[in-house]
Amino acid sequence: MTFTFPIETQDQKALIGCGVAFSLLPAVVVYLRILARHKANRPIDTSDYLIVISCLFVVCYQAITISAVFVGGLGFHVDDIQNRFGIESGATVFMKHLVALQIFWALGLSFCRISIIHLFARIFVIQSFIVTARITCVVIFLWALGAILTPFVACRPFEYTWDKSIEGGGTCGNPLISWFVTGSVSMICDLVILLMPMPSLLRLELAWTKRLMLAATFGIGILTCVVSVMRIISIAGIDLEDVTFTMPHAILFSALEPCIAVTLACVIVLRPLFGGEYLPDGTATFHTPSVDAIARKNSTRRFRQLNDDSSETRLRPEEVGYRATIAKSPEPFKGFGVLGEGLEMGLISIKQEWTVKEEPRPTTSETQHR
């Protein structure tokens, strides 16, 4: 019969509480993302399926964490597990949990990152961006593969990972080094994904305030980078001789990292839930003011109108000196995912042309006498 450890320490309570919260939060935002798709009349695409899979791995990670507390003795000293509770195998059960935790941590993060990149690739259809996105996906795949295989190749034989008493013994590398390496590469991947859309956003023909707002919306991924740094720092405090007591903080940050990643990946596409009308093809419609209202709003000029007799020269447009054309695309531009997958930057392009000609004021008898 499996022994169940009592919940006594603050670390145990924190791991259980965060495990529940970190399961509910990504599940709720993923549901809201699907709901936003439905409200905007947009079909579920690959990025949505990937984020759903990522969410499932994240929830599984939290379940394994809670199991490690109740069954693996996470939060207690190894000596307490052996002497107080009479479990001779010590941290054996926890180390089995740790292998599963590393696998689900890597899977949850990698699927989430590829989902974000796929979404960005539909928004920013630029050749250089597409190339960068593909290279980043390859790096993420290789990172995930390395993180998943590491616990299987770190010790020979594999069972020696959790059972140091097996007949004939075995050898193990230093797991702290592999955790540092996978954590550092993970943080670099987060930074690359964070910076990828910034050049395209800052080059948009929008007011600086709007560009900065968009950059801030996409830049909330910096929170994931911060958590990655905290996770790497916490790894430095792990004592492999007392792993069940020194591991909770690292596991807590490892649980928080994919949870925040999934949450932020969904937040940037939830705009349809906050209002707006959408056509059956997924195109957003906007309630813009009338032409008269726009004319009244822009009636204040930045220069003073000249009277006929106020200068030796006058400003006069040529016969067809001013032309303005307004055109609306008949169909949404599919390459941009209806221009922004919820960003709704608009589908109207306006081109204005005018010419100002300066010519001498006509000579009259009145001006000759002045």
Find the mean pLDDT for residues 144-156. Answer: 91
Domain 10-275: give its CATH architecture: Up-down Bundle (1.20)
Q: Is the pLDDT reported for residue 63 higher than 50?
A: yes
pLDDT tens-digit readout, 311-327? 444 444 444 444 545 54
Q: Is 171 exposed, middle or buried (0-12, 13-18, 19+ CB in 10 A)?
A: exposed
Q: Which long-range contacts (CB under 8 A, 24 or more apart) does 133-142 make?
A: 133/196, 136/189, 136/192, 136/193, 136/196, 139/189, 139/192, 140/110, 140/113, 140/114, 140/189, 141/110, 141/114
pLDDT of residue 364: 56
| Residue ranges per structural domain of the chain | 10-275, 284-369
Percent of the chain with pLDDT over 90: 46
pLDDT band at 98 (very low <50, low <70, confident <90, very high): very high
pTM of model > 0.85: no
Element (H, E) at 314: strand 313-328
Q: Is the pLDDT reported for residue 278 higher than 80?
A: no
